[in-house]
C-alpha cells in the first residue's frame, strides 16, 4: 500500500449467536395521528457539538426539538419538507429536520421532537467525543428489510444496553421503501426507531433505493454534505476517517451517468488527499470506506461471477473510471460492502492479488485494503449462496444472517466480529454430540456453559448435558473428586441483556459464597485441599479481543452501575488455587494475580504457595473460528502465551502438587484470524 505511516492490526472474530425474539412492527401510518412525530432518527453532522434529528408527520407542523442534560432547557427549530411518494396513491408526509447545536462532546442528552400540537416520547443520545483518543464502537450491516429483519431484535437490545456509538447501514433498506405506496418505508423507519433514535444512524445508498430517482432515500435520511444531490460524504470520528460512497452511479443507464461517476471520483480523490496530509493522517490514522456493491465477492451472483466489478475497475468503454487505484494509492485500510446476502472477509487485496502483511499475521500492516461484505442483516430475499471454489483472495465466508460489531480500539488496532443470528435448527449440535461420543461414552464429560450456547435460552446445553445440581435452572454446580473440589460457574449471566439478569448474577454469587465457605471448613479443606474453578469467559487475557482490550472483565469486577457484583474477591478470600477459562482461542498461563497485581509465591518459585489464584486460558481445542491472536505487549501478569491448537493435561498428584501441561495439536499452521 502506498501509505504505510502507521502500523495497523485488523482483528476479525466470528461470534455465533442466535436471536430468539423476532421483532415486528406494523406500518405506522394508519395508527399515527396527523401531527404525531414518527420515524425518529439521528445522524451525525461531522461536528461533535451538533446532531441532526429527522422525523415525519402526516400534517405540516412546526419542527421543534427540546433537549438538554437532564431537562429541556435547550430548544431548536428546523424545517419541514413535503415528501410525496411516486406511487399511484401519492401518499404524502412531512419530513422534519432540526440541527441540535451547542452540544458538549461526550455528554448524554435527553430530547423530544414535535410541536405544541403533539410531542414524541423522550429519547436520549450521547454527543460524539471530540478527541481522537477514544474507541468508537459501531454496528455495521447492509440489506436490512422490514420483512425477515433477523438482526433487529438483538441490535435493539444491544443499542439499548449502550454497546455502540453509531450505526453504519451499508445500503438497501426496507425492501423496498417505496413498496405499497411508501408504507413499507414508513414501517421500516418505525422498526428501526428504537435503534436510530438513540445514536447516529449513518447510511449509504444501495440499489433498492433507486425508485423515483432515489427519492425515498434522499428524503428520509439526513447525511453530511450535499446529501440530496450526490449521496456521498465523509466524516471523522475518534481515530477514524469514514467515507460513504454511492456505488449506484456505475449502474445507472441514464444521461449524465458518466458525469456522476467522474464527479464522485474527483471528490473521493480530494477527500483521500486531504485525509493523507501528515497532520490529518496522524489524527485519523484509520481510513474506512463503505459502499453498497462490493469490488470482490464469491457468491453465486452476477457481480461476483463477472469478476470485474464496475466499482473496482470502472467501465472503460464508456469512459467511467473505477476507484480501486485510489484506495490503494491513499492507503485505505478497510472497505465495507453489502449487496450480497452473506458475510465474507477477504485477505488484503489489490487488483486481485493478495497482499498480506506477513504469512503468519496477514492483517498486521497489510499492504492493501481489507474488504468485508456484510449484507445479511435479514430481508425478504433471504441469503445468497457461495460458489463452491472461492478465489485465493477470499479468507472466510459465512452464509448466516448477522451483522458486524466493530471497535476502533486505538491508532493501531481495529477489532471486528461477525455476529450470526442463524443457528440452523440444531443440526450442528447433533453432529457435535456424535463427534464426542467416542470420548464421552467412556468417562464423565463435565461441562460449563459458554456464549455459543445462548440460543433459545440455552436450551441445547440444558437438554443435551446432565450436570449435578439444578442444572436446568442455574447452570452452576460443584463436585469433589480425589483431593480436589471443582466448581463450574455460568459466566454468561453477566452478559445477558434481559429482565432478571441482576438476580441471576446475585444468586450465583451467593451460591458460590456458600460453596466456598463450606469448602473451607477445616475438615473439608483438609480432605480437598485443591479448589479449582472453571468458567467460560476469562477474568484476564491478553488477546486482541473485546474482553481483553477492555481490561475490566464483568466476571472479575462485575457491572457496578447495574448492581451486578463480580466474583474475584471471593476467589481471593477463600483461597481458590486454580481457575480455568476458555473463550479466547489460544493458550495462556498467568502468574498468580489478584486485582491486576502479580502475587507470586516467591521470585524463584512463583507457583509454590502462590498468594492469589493462578489463571489458565485453554480455548484452542479447535473450531471454525480458528485462533485468536495476542496483543504485542502483554500485561505483567501474563506468564506464557501460545497460539496453537491444543488442550491441557492436568493431574492432581497429591494434596500439595498439581501438574499441568499444554498439548499442542497444531499440525498444520492456519491463518490465525477466522
d(CA 519, CA 523): 9
What's the number of domains the chain is made of?
2
Q: Where is the domain boundary, 370, 405, 440? A: 405
Query: Which CATH number characterizes residue 363's domain?
Result: 3.60.21.10
Domain membership flag for residue 598: yes
Beta-ladder partners of 378:
144
d(CA 579, CA 534): 6
What's the pLDDT at 9? 47
Are residues 162 and 201 both part of a single domain? yes
- In the numeric block, which cell numbers belong to residue 245? 460512497
- In the numeric block, which cell numbers belong to residue 30? 394508519
What's the pLDDT at 428? 59
Are residues 433 and 362 both part of a single domain? no
End-to-end CA distance of the chain: give it in Å, rounded: 23
Positive or negative torsion for Cα 138, 139, 143, 146: negative
Are residues 292 and 146 both part of a single domain? yes
pTM score, whole prediction: 0.69
List of long-range contacts for 68-76, beta carbons under 8 Å, 24+ apart: 68/109, 68/110, 68/111, 69/104, 69/107, 69/108, 69/109, 69/110, 70/110, 71/110, 72/110, 72/111, 72/112, 74/100, 74/102, 76/100, 76/101
Q: Where is the domain boundary, 376, 405, 434? A: 405
Distances from the Cα of 597 to the Cα of 554, 558, 591, 594, 612, angstroms: 17, 18, 9, 5, 9
Domain membership flag for residue 670: no
What's the pLDDT at 30? 43
CA atoms within 13 A on the CB side of 562: 22
Contacts of 647 (CB under 8 A, 6+ apart): 618, 620, 621, 662, 663, 665
Task: Using alpha carbons only, give the angle 223, 129, 370 rounded to the nearest 5 degrees.
Answer: 65
3-state SS class at 154: helix
Are residues 17 and 152 both part of a single domain? yes
Are residues 288 and 334 both part of a single domain? yes
* Residue ranges for the chain with pLDDT beneath 70: 1-32, 227-228, 307, 422-430, 470-472, 549-551, 666-674
* pLDDT tens track for 241-260: 999 999 999 999 878 889 99
CA 229 and chain centroid, separation: 31
Domain membership flag for residue 411: no
What's the pLDDT at 229? 78
- In the numeric block, which cell numbers belong to residue 484? 480436589
Cα Dmax for the chain: 89
Asked whether the beta carbons of 348 and 356 are under 8 A apart, the reply is yes
Are residues 368 and 261 both part of a single domain? yes
DSSP string, 549-580: HH---HHHHEEGGGTEE-SHHHHHHTT--EEE
Are residues 447 and 355 both part of a single domain? no
Domain membership flag for residue 3: no
Supply the mean pLDDT for the chain: 89
Domain membership flag for residue 618: yes
Q: Where is the domain boundary, 405, 432, 457? A: 405
Domain membership flag for residue 673: no
Are residues 368 and 474 both part of a single domain? no
Are residues 44 and 161 both part of a single domain? yes
Closest alpha carbon to 252 in 266, 236, 263: 263
Are residues 574 and 647 both part of a single domain? yes
Q: At what angle do helices 427-440 and 455-464 cross, to 10 degrees?
A: 30
Are residues 285 and 371 both part of a single domain? yes
Structural domain range at position 119: 9-405
Are residues 325 and 435 both part of a single domain? no
The DSSP call for residue 36 is -
* pLDDT tens track for 70-122: 999 999 999 999 999 999 999 999 999 999 999 999 999 999 999 999 999 99
Domain membership flag for residue 109: yes
Domain membership flag for residue 63: yes
In degrees and rounded to multiples of 5, residue 258 shows phi and psi of -60, -45
d(CA 157, CA 152): 9
* pLDDT tens track for 483-541: 999 999 999 999 887 777 899 999 999 999 999 999 999 899 999 999 999 999 999 99
Amino acid at each position: 500500500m502506498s501509505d504505510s505511516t502507521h502500523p495497523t492490526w485488523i482483528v476479525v472474530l466470528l461470534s455465533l449467536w442466535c436471536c430468539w425474539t423476532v421483532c415486528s412492527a406494523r406500518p405506522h401510518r394508519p395508527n399515527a395521528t396527523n401531527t404525531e412525530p414518527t420515524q425518529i432518527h439521528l445522524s451525525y453532522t461531522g461536528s461533535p457539538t451538533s446532531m441532526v434529528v429527522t422525523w415525519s408527520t402526516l400534517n405540516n407542523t412546526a419542527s421543534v426539538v427540546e433537549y438538554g442534560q437532564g431537562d429541556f432547557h435547550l430548544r431548536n427549530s428546523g424545517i419541514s419538507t413535503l415528501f410525496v411518494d411516486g406511487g399511484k396513491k401519492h401518499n404524502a408526509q412531512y419530513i422534519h429536520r432540526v440541527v441540535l447545536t451547542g452540544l458538549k462532546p461526550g455528554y448524554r442528552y435527553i430530547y423530544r421532537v414535535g410541536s405544541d400540537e403533539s410531542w414524541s416520547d423522550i429519547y436520549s443520545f450521547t454527543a460524539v467525543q471530540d478527541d481522537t483518543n477514544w474507541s468508537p464502537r459501531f454496528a455495521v450491516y447492509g440489506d436490512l428489510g422490514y420483512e425477515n429483519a433477523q438482526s433487529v431484535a438483538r441490535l435493539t437490545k444491544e443499542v439499548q444496553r449502550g454497546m455502540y456509538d453509531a450505526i453504519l447501514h451499508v445500503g438497501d433498506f426496507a425492501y423496498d421503501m417505496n413498496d405499497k405506496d411508501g408504507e413499507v418505508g414508513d414501517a421500516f423507519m418505525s422498526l428501526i426507531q428504537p435503534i436510530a433514535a438513540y445514536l447516529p444512524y449513518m447510511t449509504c445508498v444501495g440499489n433498492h433505493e433507486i425508485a423515483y430517482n432515489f427519492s425515498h432515500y434522499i428524503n428520509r435520511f439526513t447525511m453530511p454534505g450535499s446529501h440530496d444531490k450526490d449521496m456521498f460524504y465523509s466524516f471523522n470520528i475518534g481515530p477514524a476517517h469514514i467515507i460513504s460512497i454511492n456505488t449506484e452511479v456505475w449502474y445507472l443507464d441514464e444521461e449524465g451517468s458518466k458525469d456522476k461517476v467522474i464527479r464522485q471520483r474527483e471528490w473521493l480523490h480530494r477527500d483521500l488527499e486531504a485525509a493523507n496530509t501528515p497532520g490529518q493522517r496522524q489524527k485519523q490514522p484509520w481510513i474506512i470506506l463503505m459502499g453498497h456493491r462490493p469490488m470482490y465477492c464469491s457468491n453465486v451472483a452476477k457481480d461476483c461471477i463477472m469478476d470485474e466489478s464496475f466499482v473496482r475497475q470502472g467501465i472503460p468503454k464508456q469512459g467511467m473510471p473505477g476507484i480501486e487505484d485510489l484506495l490503494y494509492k491513499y492507503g485505505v485500510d478497510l472497505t465495507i460492502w453489502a449487496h450480497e446476502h452473506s458475510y465474507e472477509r477477504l485477505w488484503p487485496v489489490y487488483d486481485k492479488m493478495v497482499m498480506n502483511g506477513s504469512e503468519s499475521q496477514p492483517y498486521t500492516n497489510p499492504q492493501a485494503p481489507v474488504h468485508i461484505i456484510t449484507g445479511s442483516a435479514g430481508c425478504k430475499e433471504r441469503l445468497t449462496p457461495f460458489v463452491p471454489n472461492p478465489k485465493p483472495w477470499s479468507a472466510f465466508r459465512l452464509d448466516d444472517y448477522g451483522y458486524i460489531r466493530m471497535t476502533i480500539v486505538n491508532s493501531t488496532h481495529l477489532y471486528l466480529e461477525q455476529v450470526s443470528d442463524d443457528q440452523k435448527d440444531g443440526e450442528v449440535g447433533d453432529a457435535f454430540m456424535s463427534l464426542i461420543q467416542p470420548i464421552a461414552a467412556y468417562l464423565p464429560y463435565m461441562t460449563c456453559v459458554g456464549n455459543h450456547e445462548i440460543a433459545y435460552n440455552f436450551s441445547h446445553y440444558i437438554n443435551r448435558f446432565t450436570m449435578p445440581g439444578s442444572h436446568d435452572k442455574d447452570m452452576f454446580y460443584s463436585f469433589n473428586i480425589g483431593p480436589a473440589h471443582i466448581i463450574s460457574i455460568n459466566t454468561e449471566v453477566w452478559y445477558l441483556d434481559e429482565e432478571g439478569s441482576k438476580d441471576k448474577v446475585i444468586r450465583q454469587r451467593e451460591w458460590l459464597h456458600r460453596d466456598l465457605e463450606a469448602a473451607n471448613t477445616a475438615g473439608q479443606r483438609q480432605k480437598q485441599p485443591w479448589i479449582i474453578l472453571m468458567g467460560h469467559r476469562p477474568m484476564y487475557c491478553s488477546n486482541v479481543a473485546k474482553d481483553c482490550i477492555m481490561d475490566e472483565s464483568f466476571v472479575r469486577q462485575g457491572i457496578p452501575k447495574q448492581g451486578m457484583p463480580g466474583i474475584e474477591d471471593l476467589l481471593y478470600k477463600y483461597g481458590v488455587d486454580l481457575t480455568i477459562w476458555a473463550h479466547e482461542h489460544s493458550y495462556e498461563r498467568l502468574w498468580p494475580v489478584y486485582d491486576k497485581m502479580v502475587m507470586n509465591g516467591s521470585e524463584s518459585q512463583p507457583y509454590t504457595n502462590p498468594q492469589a489464584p493462578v489463571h489458565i486460558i485453554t480455548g484452542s481445542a479447535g473450531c471454525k473460528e480458528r485462533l485468536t491472536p495476542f496483543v504485542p505487549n502483554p500485561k505483567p501478569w501474563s506468564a506464557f502465551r501460545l497460539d496453537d491448537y491444543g488442550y491441557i493435561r492436568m493431574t492432581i498428584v497429591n494434596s500439595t502438587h498439581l501438574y499441568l501441561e499444554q498439548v499442542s495439536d497444531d499440525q498444520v499452521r492456519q491463518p490465525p484470524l477466522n
